[in-house]
Structure 1
């Protein structure tokens, strides 16, 4: 595809392809099945904007919404089941659903090959590692590439970025946009950015962006959270609060997985590492492990371990993935984002 065509596409993302099907049912459809408009408004305010989201929520959670009794929730669940079945399907039907999965390039061919083409929609990709290993730089690069046409490895959509550590830089977006020959202001216009100040605010922002995804159907292709764990480490300290921290983290990750599947977006999370004192006794070369424990390990679809190599080289290793084998790939960080090692 010619570069000038790519520029035109980026300035207006993102008209959907004619044959692309939006595969979620808006919650307003419940009005046709006996749910009144006032209750639907309450659901939207709680971040529940699709019929599938109603099915994903437990009755206990729905009963916490002001004005929702058990009887009303039962009626709501029954209406949702009529609109969107959540029962068994055949493996063949599931394979058809998986065809909707899109792949967004990281900007480095070797890293893309490691990941089977790039990061996938309808899943969570987690990158963890020390400082200066490129976690945030990958996030910035993905935010630009997500806007590119699919023929160029993009997602032909917008991106959202929840910044928990104050690391988002518009200058980096402009430099990466210049690398791909697209208008930098248009690239910035297609990225929604929010600064989270505590773990509760972080959850509120996730709820808010889910509503935006439902409102702008099929427009968004990427959600970045940089980093997922930082505010939890601040808000919950010591072993006494560890259980509560993990419970809250689990709820957030569960919500993110549902959003990924519901709206067909790729979710990219950065995570921190901590020293593992016990690793020294087992002769592990790099005694560091990701923060978040088993909760984080089970929630992430694909986990990438990033580490420093020789000079400016960085190494990405597939730590866990259902799609690709455990392997490594080099990459480098440049002004224009993530690139192959020359």
Structure 2
């Protein structure tokens, strides 16, 4: 089976848990350094759920929390700095921390090979493409595969649905392919239907609090990340505000990915590019979200239709894997390698 080899490869590493430095420190630890419980509760209510989140949040944003003065924020920041090292580290220390990164298989060996082993944690992976290219099917498949046990341990999944595309029956079918119980798999997926872009951000903060409490999540999916923003912000007059809100959301997602060592997967839509049409480019389409999504996403995948029932995944951008393509197929059991 596809994942037996993956588990064996993971076990060969035999990483000492003490060597995997995780920066997650519970917010309540601040009490040991003189921060009162009421102020910690205020932080949690605002979506700041760990000591690292305090360090990564701008003081100006903390000032917006009712009841926190400039003096209190300075004291909280100082206490957080004592609990987590937030200055320069050596490249060797960075390499050691990277050992905690896990990789979630897509269900296709060729797809995994393209990604260097699978979807990585502590980063954001964006999959964009036209309809019927498999974006939602990849999300369904990852919901199951993120739960499969490995030497690093399988975990729960959070799914924010913005277009009403989540289907429990697909989860059951994919779970059956990999020999796991469909009902148990569904039980381990936290699903929320976002009604607007503001609600979408609220749900992100809500699941962050849940992750801080349970600490057993491995994957967060948003399908799709841009849909509600296109509805709430229309026309050029609101484009600047939309991009600002989108940028804030992507920044929050990146912090969560690093804070909880989870994989964040977002799907994105495409639109016609009039400028590309005028210059006779081969593909006059582009992903929505502009430079905000382009810079915030660690890995970008361009999904296209192939011959017959096949689909093509093109690695559009990645910091550690060269550009390339992989052919895959959508089956009853989710994403799989294309048949000859």
Runs of 4 or more above 4 Å deviation:
17-22
Determine if the alignment matches structure 1 residue 314 to structure 2 residue 329.
Answer: no
Is it true that 1:233 corresponds to 2:235 in the alignment? no
Asked if residue 245 in structure 1 is aligned to residue 249 in structure 2, the reply is no
Show the counterpart of 1:39. 39
Partner residue in 2 for 1:81: 81
Q: Are 2:106 and 2:119, in contact at CA under 8 Å, matched by a contact in 1? A: yes
Equivalent residue for 1:280, pick from 273, 277, 281? 277
Which ranges of structure 2 fall in alignment gaps of 5 or more residues?
A: 4-15
Once residues 243 and 272 of structure 2 are traced to their aligned partners in structure 1, the CA distance between those partners, rounded to angstroms, is 19
Distance 1:245 1:155, change over 3 A: farther
Q: Is the 8 A contact 1:129 1:290 kept in 2?
A: yes
Equivalent position to 1:327, from 324, 327, 330: 324
In 2, the alpha carbon distance for the partners of 1:131 and 1:274 equals: 11
Shift of 1:280: 2.0
What TM-score does the superposition give when structure 2 sets the normalisation length?
A: 0.93
Note if 1:189 corresponds to 2:187: yes
SS at match of 1:140: helix
Aligned-pair CA distance for 1:23? 3.5
- Tell me the equivalent position of 1:57: 57
Q: Secondary structure at the match of 2:205?
A: helix
Contact 2:22-2:97 within 8 A present in 1 as well: no
Q: CA deviation at 1:326?
A: 1.1
How far 1:281 sits from its partner (Å)? Answer: 3.0
Q: Which residue of 2 aligns with 1:10?
A: none
- The correspondence of residues 168-247 of structure 1 with structure 2, limited to 5 A, is 168-217=166-215, 219-247=216-244
Q: Deviations over 1:21-72 (max 9, x none)?
A: 6531101000011110111111111111110000010111101111011111
- Separation (CA, whole Å) in 2 of partners of 1:308 and 1:209: 33
What corresponds to 1:264 in structure 2?
261
Aligned pairs, how many? 327
Runs (5+) with no aligned partner, structure 1: 4-16
Aligned mates of 1:228, 1:183 — CA distance in 2: 29
For residues 155 and 332 of structure 1, do their structure 2 counterparts lie closer, same or farther at Cα, with a shift above 3 Å needed?
farther
Output one character per residue of 1:245-300: Cα deviation in whole Å (capped at 9) or x when no partner: 00000000000000000000000000000001111233322211000000010000
Q: Residues of 2 paired with 1:278 and 1:25: CA distance? A: 48
Question: 2:100 is paired with a residue of what secondary structure?
Answer: coil
Rounded Cα–Cα distance in structure 2 between residues aligned with 1:271 and 1:98: 27
Aligned-partner Cα distance in 2 for 1:149–1:51 = 29
Compute the displacement of 1:163 (Å). Answer: 0.3
1:143 counterpart residue number: 143
Q: Residues of 2 paired with 1:161 and 1:287: CA distance?
A: 31
Relative distance call for 1:314 and 1:155 in structure 2 (3 A) is: farther
Counterpart CA distance in 1 for 2:225 and 2:309 is 26
Counterpart position of 1:66? 66
8 Å contact 1:155–1:221 — kept in the other structure?
no
Taking the aligned partners of 1:24 and 1:329, their CA distance within structure 2 comes to: 35
The 1:155–1:317 alpha-carbon spacing in structure 2 relative to 1, beyond 3 Å, is farther
Closer, same or farther: CA 22–87 of 1 in aligned 2, 3 Å: closer
**Residue in 2 aligned with 1:14?**
none
Q: CA deviation at 1:149?
A: 1.5
- Quote the RMSD (CA, aligned, Å): 1.8
Does 2:286 correspond to 1:289? yes
Alpha carbons 2:23, 2:52 under 8 Å: kept: no
**CA offsets, 1:215-251, max 9 Å, x none?**
112x110000000000000000000000000000000
CA distance in 2, matches of 1:82, 1:313: 53
Whether the aligned pair in 1 keeps the contact of 2:226 and 2:269 (CA below 8 Å) is yes
Matched, 1:255 2:236: no
Deviation at 1:108, TM superposition (A): 0.5
User: How many Å separate the matches in 2 of 1:282 and 1:102?
Assistant: 42
Q: Secondary structure at the match of 1:99?
A: helix
Q: CA offsets, 1:87-107, max 9 Å, x none?
A: 000010111011100000000
Match of 2:91 in 1: 91
